[in-house]
Structure 1
Amino acid sequence: MWLPILGLILGLVIGWFSPFSVPVEYSKYLSVAILAALDSVLGGIRAAQENHFDSVVFLSGFFTNILLAGILAYVGDRIGVDLFLAAVVAFGVRLFNNLAIIRRHLLQKRIL
């Protein structure tokens, strides 16, 4: 359970201190990719709390979600429709659902 959290914290620290900047043209793609990655991480934490975490499922879901979100944003740009908003809504709903379930698990264990 701590591996996804450690990876998230490590990624945030590296990203915060790295001098890398993303061009404005790619900000839509990066934003939906980060949202998809966060969704996968929270889904992994939830699965670990429910004792059915599988690293193959986690990694395949992680990269598939990022790829699908990026493709959706790209296709939307090509046809002139903001399709990335569909990914933002879908992953946003899943993020809040996973976070609520994680919070309930932690409350049951009296950690929060």
Structure 2
Amino acid sequence: MIIFIGLVLGIILGVVFNINIPVKFSPYISVAIFACIDSVFGAIRAMVNKNFRADVFISGFFGNALLAAAMVYLGEKLGIPVYLAAIIVFAGRIFNNFAIVRRLFLDKTKFHN
């Protein structure tokens, strides 16, 4: 439940406060956002599997975002567009977690044969 409250609160704050981020930071922000979304879908999957732990979620949420941004920084220093690979990996994980959560919900409903 805390995940949904945080997600809704974050969306509301993002809509209310018009924060402009410089274009040079967009690779960092985009990868960090994907890392956070990946953590949220992982937490939803853990909640459905009934093995959610808030400490694991919070440490993963911030840790993944910081690590992803650090990888993008290192990639820029090396002249390698790491952010593209990171976005592809995180997007794959997000879709995978979504598919698992969807299947688990369908298995728990009476509409599934």
Would the TM-score normalized by the shorter structure come out above 0.5?
yes
Identity %: 44
Structure 2: any 5+ residue segments left out of the alignment? Answer: none
In structure 2, the partner of 1:55 is: 54
- When Rg is computed on C-alpha atoms for both structures, the one with the higher figure is 2
Q: Which amino acid aligns with 2:25?
A: Y
In the TM superposition, residue 76 of structure 1 has moved relative to its aligned partner by 1.1
In structure 2, the partner of 1:10 is: 9
**Alignment size in residue pairs:** 111
SS of structure 2 residue aligned to 1:4: helix
In the TM superposition, residue 111 of structure 1 has moved relative to its aligned partner by 8.6
SS of structure 1 residue aligned to 2:45: helix
Q: Give the alignment of 1:1-112 within 5 angstroms.
A: 2-110=1-109
Q: Which amino acid aligns with 1:12?
A: I
Q: Which amino acid aligns with 1:85?
A: L
Deviation string 1:8-31 (CA, Å, 9 cap, x unpaired) is 121111101212110000011000
* Gap change, CA 1:68 and 1:111, over 3 Å in 2: farther
Q: Which amino acid aligns with 1:36?
A: A
Q: Which amino acid aligns with 2:108?
A: K
Runs of 4+ that moved beyond 6 A: none
1: CA distance between counterparts of 2:105 and 2:12?
25
